[in-house]
Amino acid sequence: MITENKTYDELQIGDSYELHRVCTVDDFYIFAVASGNHNPMHLPDTDREGGEREEPVAPSMWCGSIVSAVLGNILPGPGTLYCSQHFDFVGRAHAGDELVIKVMLTAKNEDGTVVFATHVRRAADDVEIVRGEAVVVAPTEKITQDDHDLPGLVVQRHRHFDALIRMAEPLPPIPTAIVCPEEPNSLGGAILAAKRTIISPILIGNRDKISAAASELGADISGFEMIEINSHAEAANAGVELVRAGRAKALMKGHLHTDDLLRAALNKQTGLRAGRRFTHVFVLDVPGMPHPLIVSDAAINIAPDLPTKIDIVQNAIDLAISIGIQVPKVGVLSAVETVNPAIPSSVDAALLSKMADRGQITGGLVEGPLAMDNAVDLAAARTKGIKSDVAGRAEVLVVPDLDAGNMLAKQLTYIAKAEAAGLVMGASCPIILTSRADDDMARLASCAVAAIHHARMSGRDIEKLAAE
């Protein structure tokens, strides 16, 4: 937006301007970082009296500071410098409130300063939040500016995972066999999920190593069941057997190689096969994205053929539905957005799309081939002339092979600062599959996704439980 100021000579007593702005939680995070004020009243997930939660309270100084958006940008506008500002904070705003910021010129002084009455009101009920008076030096020369020159900000927080964790907490804890949680990362995530009542852990592995990890964390695990088995392969078999016996409803990877865990789960006689191929699904919370982003398969199937890709797509759709995406939009990725017989992934993508049209893949909208840009960016899709309900809006990204998926997921994690929850689908129970390098949030979110999916598959009304 191009803005132009009003100089001292152009200003007239009574000049006024109103700006409407919706305050968001991201505004409060930015204010907390910039000011150093980390008062939990102004940030999400603060418990109030009675255990209830409400939208965070807008910091009073933030409400006052948005007055400067009018003075500095519009009236008088670019070139304005503050001399003083008085505020009376007479009300409260919360995240989601629309605020009306108004300034009105009340005096012009011979020294070049001007005086504005300043007000901030809540639009919904016209309640006053802030009133005061600003004295500023008015600009003397015409200045225009383009707001597009300013860099954008993305708040690095994980609102989608926060929502999934809140969704999982009211559910009954899911009994979870945790295989070889023998170092602090793998044990810490399980402990955190247990504290949040998401899982009920059964620890399987070397007792001394598990106890040492707990000591390093300063955690008390005396209330958890522990089964001592020193061999990783035997521990994996024991975890699978707990699921088959009905004592565990989920399996979680600790500090062991993925192959050791999956070898036990894939055993044709004693494993957890349930008809479909095992496929890995990443649920990624990418800062700035309006929804979780699901990527599959990035950890199990190296070079999947078309029948395997059918299971990859269907498993990803099923998980997306479980976490609350009613009709998942699935973009099947290739290097191009048109079918090219020389690029096998583009042919597979087109076939998967047509199979969904014919009801061979159900529950979601499947479109392919799509390149990464026109799968997730609406402007890129429009530039390429792609018109569909999926292009530019994809919530699920199906990659051509493990290389592409692993690179995409790790780029989002290490460059875009995403958090990644990992789950294996296609088994008779959720298998929580995280990297040994994952932090507690990734493991906690993975447990939450597993608990939610298990509850959906068990026919539980998650929304009703959350409301209670």
Which of 131, 149, 167 terminates a domain? The answer is 149
In a domain, 434, yes or no: yes
What are the b/e assignments for 36-60, b being 16+ CB within 10 Å? eeeeeebbbeeeeeeeeeeebbbbb
Do residue 100 and residue 171 come from a single domain?
Answer: no
Same structural domain, 438 and 394:
yes
Report DSSP letters for 175-220, one per residue. EEEEE---SHHHHHHHHHHHHTTSEEEEEEE-HHHHHHHHHHHT--
The answer on 239 and 190 residing in a single domain is yes
Is the same domain home to 318 and 459? yes
CA distance 391 to 341: 21
Could you tell me if 130 and 192 lie in one domain?
no
CATH of the domain at 137: 3.10.129.10
Under a CB-based contact definition with an 8 Å cutoff, are residues 12 and 81 in contact? no
Beta-carbon contacts of 420 under 8 Å, excluding residues fewer than 6 positions away, are 282, 283, 284, 285, 409, 412, 413, 438, 442
332 found inside a domain: yes
Torsion on CA atoms 156, 159, 160, 166, rounded to nearest 10: 140
Measured distance CA(57)–CA(94) in Å, rounded: 4
**What CATH number is given to the structural domain containing 325?**
3.40.718.10
Distance (Å, whole) CA 106 – CA 12: 9
Whether residue 178 is contained in a domain is answered as yes
How far is it, in rounded angstroms, from Cα 248 to Cα 103?
63
Please state the domain count of the chain.
2
Q: Is 69 part of any domain?
A: yes
Is 61 a domain residue?
yes
Which of 115, 149, 183 terminates a domain? The answer is 149
> In tens digits, what is the pLDDT along the chain, a chain of 468 residues?
677 899 999 999 999 999 999 888 888 888 888 899 888 888 875 444 444 446 789 999 999 999 999 999 899 999 999 999 999 999 999 988 899 999 999 999 999 999 999 999 999 999 999 999 999 999 999 988 776 555 555 555 678 898 899 899 999 999 999 999 999 988 998 999 999 999 999 999 999 999 999 999 999 999 999 999 999 999 999 999 999 999 999 999 999 999 999 999 999 999 999 889 999 999 999 987 889 999 999 999 999 999 999 999 999 999 999 999 999 999 999 999 999 999 999 999 999 999 999 999 999 999 999 999 999 998 889 888 998 899 999 999 999 999 999 999 999 998 988 889 999 999 999 999 987 667 777 889 999 999 999 998 887 777 666 555
The predicted pLDDT at position 67 comes to 95
Residue 177 has phi, psi (to 5 degrees) of -85, 115
184/97 same-domain check:
no
Averaged confidence pLDDT in the chain: 90
CA distance 404 to 201: 33
Position of tokens 């994205």?
Answer: 289
Do 145 and 165 lie in one domain? The reply is no
The answer on 102 and 8 residing in a single domain is: yes
| Rounded alpha-carbon distances, angstroms, from residue 440 to 58, 74, 144 | 29, 46, 48
In terms of domains, do 364 and 270 share one?
yes
Short-list 464, 448, 383, 461, CA closest to 162: 448
**The domain boundary residue, chosen from 149, 183, 218:** 149
Which domain covers residue 252, as residue numbers?
159-467
Report, in angstroms and rounded to the nearest whole number, the Rg of the chain calculated over CA atoms: 27
If asked whether residues 140 and 191 sit together in one domain, one would say: no
- The predicted pLDDT at position 46 comes to 47
- For residues 89 and 184, state if they share a domain: no
Helix, strand, coil tally for the chain in percent (to 5): 35, 25, 40
Considering the domain architecture, whether residues 238 and 112 belong to the same structural domain is answered as no
Q: How far is CA 94 from the centre of its chain?
A: 21
Domain assignment of residue 154, yes or no: no
